[in-house]
Structures are given as structure tokens and as C-alpha cells.
Structure 1
Amino acid sequence: MKLLLKLSLLFIAFPYFAIAQNNPKPGYRVTLAGDTIKGYVDYREWDNNPTSFKFKTDPDLKFQTYSIANTSAFAITKLGYFEKQIVSVSMNKIQLSELSNVVDTGKITDTVFLKVLAKGKNINLYSYTDQLKTRYYYAETGIKGIHEFTHYLLKPKSDNNSFVEVNSTAELNYLAMKYNPAIAAQITGIQYTKEAMLKITSLINGGNEKEQFKTESKTQVLFFAGIGASYSTLKFTNLPALVSPGINKNNLLPYATVGVDIYPNKITQKLLFKLQASFVPDQHELFSSIPDYNNDITTTSLKFKQYTISILPQIVYNFYSRNNLKIYVGTGASVNLSFYNNYKYIVTYKSAFTNSTNSTKYPQFDSLWLSFPINVGIVLNNRIDIGFYYFIPSSITNYAGITGDITSYRAGISYLFGH
């Protein structure tokens, strides 16, 4: 219970660790006077376009917060580029449950940091995301003004369970006919997605975008292999002789593991998905000796070996992350396939005569069962992963009224490949 309490407190503290961390990446900010200042931006996984950011000119200085009020542009090199612009922002909804039968043309004018997606000889492409939706904008090179690409969804009057999409055909046809008429046929049916808008922008520009605005892939895949030690305890309920055995011998045994770590964002490296396969041997020995009122003694023993292949998908969160050190916590659900030796449940009655009964493979243990871990650990130099696992009590029996619960503890070290 104390362990669970400590782990619960750790989970509660996660947001505070996350907020306290900084993630400095090379970049720059442009002042309202047009001066470019190089330094470091505190990079975040912005789901929406930011309204402010943290910046410093030297690694040893503290971050200062800047906003739209005092910045005309800022960038994180190869990760994100933002320009301050006054734009018209469409307010029509895109959730099916919120759509109407008429086009909502409502707009507001706002000053925002637009994200630069591409710059070319003919047009530049931008995006703006808030809590409502993502919008795409274009500006013609050398011509003042930024325009939002049209995109509406509405329900047809005949069927309220579907929608009609009004896309950016008009603006794209205008741009294609002006700069590259040969691509006009590719406008029809274009999707309102980042990938599609980047592709059509490239065609309008003749494939002449500026390379510095193309960001790197953020996904990273690492493979790992490791070894460790496993210790587990077995506790029975409603199997009278072994509920409180005189001897409950457990063993510390080695295990081997391999797997893959997937970072959705390798820059922040906050969240990762881990898929782990392990081979875990286990052995238990339980023995009880119970005298009755005649001092006759009944002894009960159970000794068995268990070999388990486990597949463990996990969600892991690095609540402290620096180049040479990460501290993480995670959880998941392990699917376990176990094999057992030809064990016996032996009951011996000692009185004037000695009598024994043997029950082969009793109690019967499950071959397929689930367990649920909580794990914590550290990663050193992005190479060495040292982890500790606590598996909450999990049943390995399928008898009504008889429960055998295994509680496991593991400590392991793995080496990460693929950097």
C-alpha cells in the first residue's frame, strides 16, 4: 500500500514536473523593428498556434517570455516558423453534430502567429490552429495580403447524418491559372489537409520552395534489448492448507527482453509508446504443516516452475528530460503465455500410519493471463535504460472460489539502438 501511495503521488506530480521543464532549441526572434536576434526558443508541442513563447540569447541565461505584442516573427530551426499577421479567421464549425444546413460565413479579424509551412517564388503557405479547427492561408509573393483558403462543411437537408464539403477550389483555380495552368486539372477533389495543401503549393510554385521552411520528421523509432532479474510472490485464497503456508519460497531469477520505443515527437521526447517482449522464468515452493487435536500432522506441499512469454505494450512519460538523463514512469497491460512443469500438489497425513495423496497439476494454472505493471526508470546518454517494474497482484487460476495471485517485481537494464 505504501508503494502504491508513493506511485500515486508521483502521477499527481507529473504536470508540475512537465511545466517546470524547459526545452531550449536553436532559433531566433524578430523584433517589431525588424531586427533578427539569434538564441534559443523553449520548444513546446503546441497543439494550437502559440500566442507567446520563451526565448533567451545565451544558454546560461534565463528564458524571457515574448508575445505577439513585441515580436513580429520567431523560429525554432528546422522545427517551426511563425510570423505575426493580421488575418481574417473563419468561425464555422466542422464537427458533424454542430453542422447546419446553411454555410456559416462568420469571420473575425485577429492578430496571430501564423505557422509558415512553405515559401516559394509564387505563393507562401501558412496554417493557423485554435481550439475550433485548423485553417490554411496563402500570400502571393510580392503582393500584400494574406487570404484564408475556403473550407466549409454543411449538412444536406435530405440527410442530417452526412455532410457536404465546400473546399478551396476557387482560390486554387485562380492561383493555378495565374502561375501554372498545367496543374488546373489537379485542383478538383483536393483535400483540406496539410499534406494536400503542401503538394498543391509546390505545384503552383513549380517545386521551388525554400528548403529552410521544411521541417524534419518528428517521429523516432528505437530498438532495445536487455536483461534483468525478476522476483515474484504467490498467494492463495480459499485453498486452506496453503493460505498461510509455513514456507513460501520465492526465487530471484534472470529474464531477457527485446522491444521497440516509438517517440511521436523526438524533439521533446516527453511521451513514448513502448512494445516489449520478455521471457521470464519463475519458480515457487509452498509448504505447510498443520497438527490436529491428536497431534497428528498434515503436511501440504506445492512446487512448480513457470516459464512465461509476455507481450507488454506501454505508455511511458518522461517527466524529466535532458540530453544525458531522462526519468520516466509508465504503465500498460501485459499479455502472458505461460508453460508449467509436471508439478504435483502433495498432501501427507502422519498418524499411526503415513498416507499421501498426489494431485498432478493441481491447482490448475492459466496458460493465458493478464498482468498490469507500473514502471519507473532512467535513461542515461540516450543509450542505457534502467527500469523497475511493479506488477499488481494478478490471478493465474481459473477455479471458482480458489485464487492464486502473483505479485512481481523486476529490475532490468537495456541498450537502445537506432539513434
Structure 2
Amino acid sequence: MKRLFCLAFLLSQASLYLHAQSNFKPGYVIDSKNDTLKGFVDYREWIKNPREISFKQTQTASPQKFTVTNANGFAITGAEYYDKFTLNISTSTIELAQLSHSLDTAYTTDTVFLKNLVNGKNVSLYMWTDKIKSSYYIFDKHSHTIENLKQYLYFNEDRQSVANVNSYINQLLRLAHQYQPGDTKILTRIQKTDYSETDLTAAAIALNGGNATQQSVHSNSGVRFFAGAGVRYSKLQFNSSAGAAGPFSNGIHDNSVSPVITAGMDVLINKYTEKLLFRLELAAAINSYHFSEGSSEYTTTKTLDVKIYHFAAIPQVMYNFYSTDNLKAFIDVGVAMNIYKYNNYNYATIYHFSTVTTVSQSKYPVFQGFEFAVPVKAGVQINKRIEVYGTYWLPSSLTKYIYYSADQSAFQAGINYIFR
């Protein structure tokens, strides 16, 4: 329990590290004079459009702050692109519990960085995300005007349902008649377009005749693989209820030290920041336990030698609470699906009287062939390739008896090599 409290404390303090880390990636800034400054942008997983970024022209230079007051745009090369606009931003909510009972067309005017989704010869598509919702904007390259693609939701009391006012459909149809006259397919596509990044991106590309550049990467996800080895210190302990008869007394345990091999695959939510990822790990180990317990009168001795072949598939979630280019610190929790195989073990009771008599019971106690367990892991990743970690496997029972159990727990330390 002490170790779990330490892990909980580490989680609670993780936010303190977030302000100290950086993740500079190749990019550029367009300053207020429209000069392009090439260098490195501190790339974060922006849930909302950023209002401030850090930039440096070389990896060793001191970071500079850029906002809409001194920059007209910025980009992380190959990932995300932002341009500055002064525009109207809708303030109506889309939360069902907070919907107004009439059409709410209120807005505020602000100067912001919009995320460029599509850049084309006719139109460009942009996105703005704040704490209320995501809104989309279309920029007409010929008239040099930008307008909000409007959608409003409100609660219709007469019908007791949510009403949609999809003004963006007519806005897109007008542009289709202007830039793709005579194309009936694009009209049908627009009429079926949802107010979403995927659908609006497809519509914007069609408005450009299919030749537009998709500026922002539609998916930042990625996949990587790893393999490694380590050592596991395991404990198998028998626990029984008061007065219950079991193979051994309550609390009797033995320890085992064994090598372990691991391999698996990581699915990165954002391959540029690697903040959060899902891991599927395969692990294999062999644990050997020896139990020997004598009675108080030393007339009997109980023994058990069991070898456990342990194979596990472990889906897990990993979070890098500290992340720089060359060093990341992470925590990880998973659910292990364990498959166990056993040797031909025997439980022996040896009676010491005038002669020694041994009574053996094959495959007793009966151990399970499958069981779940919860491993909790913490570690560091060094230079993008080497991962050093420690894992605590919470106790899980290998038996299904009512009055006693055999619980296995473990500590594991190891090194993985990440293939990129």
C-alpha cells in the first residue's frame, strides 16, 4: 500500500512538471512584418487554439514568445498551420443541458490564430476551438474575405426536441455554384455534409476542384514497436480464513526471481508530442516456488514445488507527464490477461513416526490457467530509443477456493528498445 500511495502522490504532482517541459519541433513564425522566421516551435497538444507560442531560431537559442500582437501566423512543419484573423466568433453553446430555447446568434469579435485545415486555389478552410465548441471558417481566395460557417442548435419547446439551423449548407452551396458551376455531384455532397472536420475538409477540397492541399495532418496518430528484457521478483502467498484448513498456514509464502522478456506495439495519439499512447505488451516469464512447512510437533511436514510458466497480453495506457526531445518520464497502468501453465507438481505430506510415510496429491492445490492482474508501471524514455522502467503487479489469486487462496504479486524492472 505504501508504494501505491507514492504512485498517487506522483500523479498528483505531475502537473507541476508540465510547465517545465518543452517539445520544440521544426517550424516557422510569420512575424508582424510578414517575414518568415525559420526555426523551432514548442509543439503542445493544443485542445484549444493557442493564443501564445514559444519559438527559437536554433535549438540552443533562448525561446521567444509570439502572440497575435507580433505574429501573423506560425506552423509546425508537416503537422499544423495557423494564420491570424480578426473575426466574429459564435458564443452559442452546443451543450444539450445548456441550450437556449430560441435561436442564439450572439457572437464576439476577436483576433486569433485559426488552424488551417485546407489550403486551396479557391477557398481555404479554418477551425477555431475554444472552451465552448469548435467553429469552422471559409476563406475566399478571390474576394479575400472570411466567414463563419454557421450552425446553431436550440431547444424547440413546441416539438420538445433539439432544432438545427444549418446555415453552412447554403454558404457552401453558394461557393459551389461560384467555383464549380454545373457540377451536380458536389451539390449532393454538400447537402449531406455534417458540421465536422472530416466532412467539411472533404467539401473544401471539392470546392477547389480536388486539388487543394490539406494543410493540417488529418491524423497525428502513429505506431511504433518495442522489445526488451528484465528481471521479475515474484511472491506467491497462501491466505486462509480463520480456522480454515488449507494446504499451508495463513501467510506462508515463497519468492522467485526470474528473467522476463517483453515485446509489443504502441499506438500514439499524437506522434509529434507522444504525450498519451496505448500499448499492447506481450510478456513471458517462469516462476519457481518451493514451500515446506512443519507442524508444531514436528510430526508432519507439508511440501510443494511448483513451476509456473507465465504468458501475458497486457493492454495499457501510458502517459508522459514530463516530455522533452531526449527525456520523457511516464506512468502506466494496464490490465494483464494471464495464461498460466504448470509443471507436474505434487503436494506432499510427510509423517514422521517410527517410519517416514509420504502421502502425495498430484496437482493439488488446483491452480487457475487464466486470470486477470493489474500492473502499474513508471519509468523514463532516453534519447527516443531506450526505455527503463519498474512495474508493480498487484496481487491476484491463482486459485478459486472459498476459504483460502494463493495470491501472486511481483516487482519487475527492465529495459525496452523502441523501434522507430
TM-score normalised by structure 2 residue count: 0.89
SS state at 1:9 partner: helix
Which residue matches 1:215? 217
Decide whether the 8 Å contact of 2:22 with 2:324 is kept in 1: no
Which consecutive unaligned segments of at least 5 residues does structure 2 have? Answer: 241-245
Looking at structure 1, the residues matched to 411 and 56 of structure 2 have their Cα atoms a distance apart, in angstroms, of 44
Q: Does 1:185 align with 2:192?
A: no
Is the contact between residue 263 and residue 272 of structure 1 (CA under 8 Å) also seen in structure 2? yes
Q: Deviations over 1:245-273 (max 9, x none)?
A: 4xx55332233332111111111112111
1:225 to 224, 227, 240: 227
Aligned-pair CA distance for 1:324 = 4.0
Check conservation: 1:96, 1:163, Cα contact below 8 A: no
**Residue 243 of structure 1 aligns with which residue?**
250
Aligned match of 1:234:
236
User: Is the CA contact (8 Å cut-off) linking 1:256 and 1:280 kept in structure 2?
Assistant: yes
Q: Which moved more, 1:17-26 or 1:226-235?
A: 226-235
Residue 304 of structure 2 corresponds to residue 297 of structure 1: no
- Code of the residue aligned with 2:248 in structure 1: it is A
SS state at 1:251 partner: strand
Q: Partner amino acid for 2:293?
A: S
Stretch deviating more after TM superposition (1-10 or 66-75):
1-10
Distance 1:110 1:404, change over 3 A: same
Q: Structure 1 unaligned runs (5+)? A: none
Task: Answer with 65-74 or 365-374: which moved more.
Answer: 65-74
CA distance in 2, matches of 1:174, 1:115: 23
The offset of 1:355, in angstroms, is: 4.2
**Corresponding position: 1:391 with 2:356:** no
Query: What is the CA distance between 1:37 and its match in structure 2?
Result: 2.7
* 2:263 match: 258
User: Is the Cα contact below 8 Å between 2:24 and 2:325 reproduced in 1?
Assistant: no
In structure 2, the residue matched to 1:307 is 309
Corresponding residue for residue 74 of structure 1: 74
What CA distance in whole angstroms lies between the structure 2 residues aligned with 1:14 and 1:255? 29
Tell me the secondary structure at the aligned position of residue 187 of structure 1: helix
Within the candidate set 202, 211, 220, 2:205 is matched to 202
Q: Distance in 1 between matches of 2:416 and 2:213?
A: 41
Name the residue aligned to 1:408: 410
Partner residue, 1:376? 378
The equivalent residue for 1:275 is 280
Q: 1:31/1:325 Cα in 2 relative to 1: closer, same or farther (>3 Å)?
A: closer
CA deviation after TM superposition for structure 1 residue 103, in Å:
2.5
Q: Structure 1 residues 165 and 223, CA, compared in 2 at 3 Å: closer, same or farther?
A: farther
Show the counterpart of 2:243. Answer: none
Root-mean-square deviation (CA), in Å? Answer: 2.5
Q: Does 1:103 align with 2:110?
A: no
Q: Tell me the residue number matched to 2:366.
A: 364
Count of paired positions: 412
Q: Is the 8 A contact 2:23 2:325 kept in 1?
A: no
C-alpha spacing 1:244/1:331, structure 2 compared with 1 (3 Å): closer
Aligned partners of 1:348 and 1:242: how far apart in 2?
A: 16
Q: Partners of 2:314 and 2:153 in 1: how far apart?
A: 41
Q: Which amino acid aligns with 1:257?
A: T
TM-score by structure 1 length? 0.89
The worse-fitting range, judged by mean Cα deviation, of 36-45 and 155-164 is 155-164
Q: 1:333 aligns with which of 332, 335, 349?
A: 335
